[in-house]
Structure 1
Amino acid sequence: MGHRVSPSTRMPAPVKRAVSLLGVSIALAAFSNAAAAGCEYVVTNSWGSGFTAAIRISNTSSTAINGWNVSWQYNTNRVTNLWNANLSGSNPYAATNLGWNGTIPPGQTVEFGFQGVTNGGAVERPTVNGAACTGGTPSSSSSSVASSAPSSSSVPPVSSSSSVVSSSSIANGAQCNWYGTLYPMCTSTASGWGYENNRSCISFSTCDAQPDPWGPVNPGSSSSSSIAPSSSSVPSSSLAPSSSSVPSSSSSSVVSSSSVISSSSLSSMSSSSSSSVTPPGSGVFRINTQGNLTKDGELVPARCGNWFGLEGRHEPSNDANNPSGAPMELYVGNMWWVNNSQGSGRTIQQTMTELKQQGITMLRLPIAPQTLEANNPQGMDPNLKNHQSVRQTTARQALEDFIKLADQNDIQLFVDIHSCSNYVGWRAGRLDARPPYVDATRVGYDFTREEYSCSATGNPSSVTKIHAYDKEKWLANLREIAGLSEQLGVDNIIGIDVFNEPYDYTWAEWKGLVEDAYEAINEVNPNMIIIVEGLSANANTQDGTPDTKVPVPHGSLDLNPNWGENLYEAGTNPLNIPKDRLLFSPHTYGPSVFVQKQFMDPTQTECEDLEGDEAGHADCRIVINPELLEQGWEEHFGYLRELGYGILIGEFGGNMDWPAAKASPADRALWSHITTNVDQQWQQTAANYFKKKGINACYWSINPESADTMGWYLTPWDPVSANTSWGQWTGFDPRKTELLNDLWGL
């Protein structure tokens, strides 16, 4: 997949913070001044065994509030996770502000939310009180709470004798986080809830607070955390999730001393994350006789998108702090410089909730071999740009936490080895790729990487940095990824996309490698399927002999396949892999990624067989001809559908505004004569063909940081006019939503 760019901006050091759980009877106390606040309690959702709620603190005075804490207690309800605050205690609970939300300017609001269980009782609705609500200065020894909010007969309030507990009174004064397999969940065990996978908790004194990017999870999960900032500038949809067992029509109730949140806002807060802990290795994925994906015998809807970043970002060569670096950082849409360095409030969980609401059931997650290295410096600070509240500790930790959170949200995923090196990236083409790379001469192209190689031998003189990769290292990576289901206790890893766009192999070469990959994966996890991409039109340009190439059959010579698209020989020379364990996954793109020769206007005879930058320099026009394009797709991969193979397009998409907007300066100049929406036409043509063939597809991409495709999420970032807005997301592109809804039958 094509090039990515990012601004040259240095990240401050990470801020360690504790995660939190939360509950329902509230007191506000210990502000550093006597500013008054309006306190609002919102039950955002409720179902048979649980609920979600949020507390809003609105500064109604003319003086800033600097620091806040909250205490509360239940009769029967219990808290299972919390976001946007630190937590101490276990019924009674005490929460304090995080670093980024401790100050509440006049007229502004901060908010924290939580999920709880009812333990057989009703959803308890609390009183809301304390110094912040009244403007008084509370006593630190206060032992009871006076109500400042109206009660309701519909839900019984918590007893007015609820105690106030300060964070200093909690044993050891410790704050806990839980990460991967290293940090068990620390909660009260006396009440019989809050265990992690039925394991007892480590003591509070041994808990190590770490920054956690993932957002809230569910009872009994193996990863739980706090979510990044929420203020009056952050939409209510940034609130974290409830449970997949929550009916979408469940009612919400509000008790407020200021204003009542609208029902439409409440509906955006619901979540689809699962509340159950999945036993390790219980998911068995197969391709049925109709070529469709199943899990434990049930069909899995393949509504899929790509969420990239962990395979390596490519920093500009003039970056002041990490020039030409390759940070492996999962994009969150929440860069540290946003909103006066307060961040945007977006989290991974918020995005998963929104994707579920859009119909997503599956994600493709690209990584590099270096992503699996726990301490690779390009996966850690100071090379990361996400806001501290959502910043990963390492790329490996980010990978594991993402997989677990997706599992809790009932999102299936497959891991893609996207390159031989996070530095070489999409230009690899083969396991031991060497320069010269085929895209190094693109106009206005900064990320040539001609100094990097994945080959230990046969390198040209330009190579100064070697990340040697080979078949044995690749197979070891495949085995390691195959073991993640059992290691992490999840059942949502469909399989492994064994190598991205292997365009530099012949089919015979690639067939041998893929069959070995299947054996390696099957040794470790026979529940997985193997996901196999196609080739290109030529091979062996990166094998140490760049001046020679081997043509690869792909049908009509007039219809060139994209990298990863060519499966022309797979039917007549099939893989020695059971059909129910194999999923073909070709890639295909339109003009915003690469202008193929079949896009040329046939009336311009001087443009016949031109492509790429050469066609742009010749002012060639672009014509999207559905009949011609479908002929190529049918030859390259579509015919396999009739042979009963499973097919899932691994990547398709593009910049619908190309080249006039959001495109690189070089593309805008080179293709300025194109004034129609040719890439949008191409995407619609592709979606129509996939739908007609009964083929589903993974959209590239979910996130909008791709310079040649943008994303499903919108962004104010523009590489020409708004480069400092990079890394912000502002909702879904309605054109792409309509396209995907039609493709997915939603």
Structure 2
Amino acid sequence: MQVRRILSALLCATALTLSAAAQAYSVNDSGRLLNAQGQEIRLNGVNWFGFETTNYTLHGLWTINWKDSIAQIKASGFNAVRLPFCPNTLRGVAPNSINYSANPDLSGLNSLQLLDKVVKQLSAEGMYVLLDHHRPDCNAISELWYTDSYTEAQWIADLKFVADRYKSVAGVIGLDLKNEPHGAASWGNSKATTDWNKAAERAAKAVLAVAPDWLMFVEGISANDGCSDYRAYWWGGNITPLKCYPLDIPRNRLVLSPHVYGPDVYMQPYFSDSAFPNNMPAIWDAQFGFAASLNYAVVPGEFGGKYGQGQAKDKIWQDKLVDYLIERRITNFFYWSWNPNSGDTGGILQDDWKTVRSDKLALLKRLMVVNASTSSASSSVASSSAASSSAASSAAASSRAASSSSVSSAASSSRAASSAAASSAMAASSSRASSSAASSAASSAARSSAASSAASSASSSSAAGAGSVSASYTVNNDWGSGYCATVRLTNTGSSSVTWSAAMNVEGKLSQMWNATWSQSGSTVSFKGMAWNGSLAAGAVNTSIGFCANR
């Protein structure tokens, strides 16, 4: 009875009205993602969490304006956002930890209305949206798709509700059916109460009956009794049993979405192998890469780390993973996370919720450059390179001046608790790893790893900027035919300036983020946007970066 009452209430909710027409998405025989016109689409994605927590809204709204941050995501080159949510968000409860002085248009809205507004805005900006059923109780990631207080029927009802509500929104590509199955979750055909693959099949069938043009993102599990090597796989990271038990989900709707992490989340034994990081490709092949070779669509839904600000090996690991993804043509992705308040990974944004980690962005630009150069056609919904011109850069509206409200619980990450306090449930994230060792030669790995680990003075250029600002750049990643770099601006004067700068670069820029720019010959001229255009006396700005082709 309770399930029927909840379902009835959800289905009777006011329908979301949007002007954009629905898009049909599919997977072709080669595992490529297509739009309704049969053109290949590319997902340069990031996770922005918060709707899956007891704040029931995007995190960061205690200090930033939500539309400004969406514009900044787009200006940074991302064209897709994975939005985790929990069931209570769908019930229209009261959100908290929102600074309404910075976000006056959100005043009076409940959690579902906020989700509507965010989904609508992302789609209106030409971005893709992946909705992710993340936590059943808005507090912790469950092992299975149901709990003692949240039934399978409720789970499927919620998925169907989401599908019905957003199926007509052009940018919404589909659903991640359940975040990070692990622990008791199995993959086979003999354990009805724990076989995640069978539950995913039931859920996908129900969702596709409502939204037949959506993509079904299915994550893996952790350990499995059969058809799986003994590895401490990451939560949601083991899709090896697919070899023995293929999913009964239409291949043109199925996307495999493993999660994979490195030393910053947990220091697994294979990170200490003498062959590290060259042992990693064989491990990734066994965990999920094999599926790409079988022409499944494979889109990592989460990967990330502090990238040099935590475990020393994490940067090496992330560099190697990007090498691997490029080599295996697994270049659609959702990075964890946009938020800086993920305790074990940090974010694309720094702790001020405004400044971009240019080194992380340079890493991900390598995947974006591959996506831009190999895409068969531009998408009708989103551009794969939103930061390649001054017009795109200007899309990042000025951040509104707003005082930070005091927030405690709002700073918890959706995968691990905030650095201030980790809950026991999230502290168990050490289970999300896998083990094994085998070396694999990668043609460009050594070059890319060396280029991204540190830059020499030979790869830097500098020039005097307007007023008292000097500019230089350092190459973070170099793959021969191109490279990505971080720009360093320094105000050497005694007063604040509105800066502009010029410098000589090698090759032709394909994109620059967090600045407007133009190029004449080898000279690139650039200046800040409304939210980063001033530089205080003695201050340094490293939020700007670029990629170039030789």
Q: Do both share a fold (TM > 0.5)?
A: yes
Structure 2 matches for 1:132-143, cutoff 5 A? Answer: none
Q: d(CA) in 2 for partners of 1:369 and 1:564?
A: 20
Is the Cα contact below 8 Å between 2:271 and 2:277 reproduced in 1? no
TM-superposed CA distance for 1:360, in Å, is 1.1
2:366 counterpart letter in structure 1: D
Of 442, 455, 477 in structure 1, the residue corresponding to residue 158 of structure 2 is: 477
Identity %: 29
Q: d(CA) in 1 for partners of 2:14 and 2:69?
A: 24
2:153 is equivalent to residue 430 of structure 1? no
TM-superposed CA distance for 1:575, in Å, is 0.7
* 4+ runs deviating over 4 angstroms: 180-183
Q: d(CA) in 1 for partners of 2:227 and 2:244?
A: 12
CA deviation digits over 1:84-122, x for unaligned, max 9?
xxxxxxxxxxxxxxxxxxxxxxxxxxxxxxxxxxxxxxx
TM-superposed CA distance for 1:499, in Å, is 0.2
Of 496, 502, 507 in structure 1, the residue corresponding to residue 175 of structure 2 is: 496
The equivalent residue for 1:395 is 111
Q: d(CA) in 2 for partners of 1:641 and 1:708?
A: 28
TM-superposed CA distance for 1:627, in Å, is 2.5
Of 100, 122, 129 in structure 2, the residue corresponding to residue 406 of structure 1 is: 122
Is the Cα contact below 8 Å between 2:256 and 2:297 reproduced in 1? yes
Structure 2 matches for 1:340-379, cutoff 5 A? Answer: 346-374=64-92, 376=93, 379=94
* Helix, strand or coil at the partner of 2:59: coil
Q: d(CA) in 2 for partners of 1:568 and 1:473?
A: 28
Point out the more displaced range, 384-393 or 506-515: 384-393
CA RMSD of aligned residues (A): 2.1
Is the Cα contact below 8 Å between 2:130 and 2:175 reproduced in 1? yes
Structure 1 residues 687 and 386: alpha-carbon distance in aligned structure 2, compared to 1, 3 A threshold? farther
Is the Cα contact below 8 Å between 1:533 and 1:565 reproduced in 2? yes
The equivalent residue for 1:737 is 361
The equivalent residue for 1:26 is none
Of 306, 327, 330 in structure 2, the residue corresponding to residue 692 of structure 1 is: 327
Structure 2 matches for 1:614-633, cutoff 5 A? Answer: 625-633=276-284
* Helix, strand or coil at the partner of 1:413: strand
Q: d(CA) in 2 for partners of 1:500 and 1:411?
A: 22
Of 242, 264, 271 in structure 2, the residue corresponding to residue 570 of structure 1 is: 242
TM-superposed CA distance for 1:682, in Å, is 1.1
The equivalent residue for 2:375 is none
TM-superposed CA distance for 1:181, in Å, is 6.2
2:185 counterpart letter in structure 1: Y
The equivalent residue for 2:192 is none
TM-superposed CA distance for 1:371, in Å, is 1.1
How many residues align? The count is 346
Q: d(CA) in 2 for partners of 1:476 and 1:591?
A: 37
CA deviation digits over 1:148-178, x for unaligned, max 9?
xxxxxxxxxxxxxxxxxxxxxxxxxxxxxxx
TM-superposed CA distance for 1:704, in Å, is 0.9
Q: d(CA) in 2 for partners of 1:569 and 1:703?
A: 33
1:278 counterpart letter in structure 2: A
1:736 counterpart letter in structure 2: K
Q: d(CA) in 2 for partners of 1:652 and 1:711?
A: 11
2:228 counterpart letter in structure 1: H
Query: Greater relative contact order (Cα 8 A, min sep 6): structure 1 or 2?
Result: 2
Q: d(CA) in 1 for partners of 2:266 and 2:72?
A: 30
1:290 counterpart letter in structure 2: S
2:52 counterpart letter in structure 1: E
Q: d(CA) in 2 for partners of 1:703 and 1:658?
A: 15
The equivalent residue for 1:307 is 48
* Helix, strand or coil at the partner of 2:281: helix
Q: d(CA) in 2 for partners of 1:686 and 1:422?
A: 30
Structure 1 residues 386 and 588: alpha-carbon distance in aligned structure 2, compared to 1, 3 A threshold? farther
The equivalent residue for 1:384 is 97
Structure 2 matches for 1:218-297, cutoff 5 A? Answer: 277-279=19-21, 281=22, 283-296=23-36, 297=38
Q: d(CA) in 1 for partners of 2:218 and 2:261?
A: 18
The equivalent residue for 1:526 is 212
- Bigger CA radius of gyration: 1
TM-superposed CA distance for 1:553, in Å, is 4.3
Of 348, 355, 364 in structure 2, the residue corresponding to residue 712 of structure 1 is: 348
Is the Cα contact below 8 Å between 1:305 and 1:364 reproduced in 2? yes
> TM-score, structure 1 length as denominator?
0.45
The equivalent residue for 2:269 is 597
Q: Quick check: which one's helix share is greater? A: 2
Q: d(CA) in 2 for partners of 1:576 and 1:625?
A: 37
The equivalent residue for 2:228 is 554
Q: d(CA) in 1 for partners of 2:131 and 2:166?
A: 12
Q: d(CA) in 2 for partners of 1:684 and 1:597?
A: 19
Is the Cα contact below 8 Å between 1:286 and 1:294 reproduced in 2? yes
Is the Cα contact below 8 Å between 2:15 and 2:165 reproduced in 1? no
Structure 1 residues 288 and 501: alpha-carbon distance in aligned structure 2, compared to 1, 3 A threshold? same
2:221 is equivalent to residue 535 of structure 1? yes
Is the Cα contact below 8 Å between 1:554 and 1:561 reproduced in 2? no
2:317 is equivalent to residue 682 of structure 1? yes
